[in-house]
Amino acid sequence: MHVDEYSFGKITINGNSYSKDVIIFPDRVFSPWWRGEGHLLQIDDLAEIVKSDIAELVIGTGYYGTMQVPSQVVEYLNKKGITVCIEKTPKALQLYNRLASQKAAIAALHLTC
């Protein structure tokens, strides 16, 4: 999977456009990705990612970085063997494209604020 384009509230992945938050798996895109508490990421919001066999997760916190990622979420993922990178979505996409070109990775992306 490759992110072709991104602007506030819109992303194009492998030629397909999405206007709701997404999780990019190596073989599919899950959208809309809703979180239980909107701008506060919780462990339950990442259940499908934890079930996968991926060691790299890129979290995009929004165009302006509004979505919060509590330290206990990162610690939980690390204990599951998942390395987590957290950035504002524009920078997260650059990182994801670089990682995904080298190995399997997942991106969980908030597309707006």
> Tens of pLDDT along 34-64?
999 999 999 999 999 999 989 999 999 999 9
Range of the domain at 53: 3-109
How many domains, the chain? 1
Answer yes or no: are the C-beta atoms of 58 and 3 closer than 8 Å.
no
Dist. CA 87–CA 52, nearest whole Å:
22
Q: What is the pLDDT of residues 3-25, one digit of tens each?
A: 999 999 999 999 999 999 999 99
Residue 94 has pLDDT above 90, yes or no: yes
- Tokens in use for 51? 């079930």
Which CATH number do you get for residue 56? 3.40.1230.10
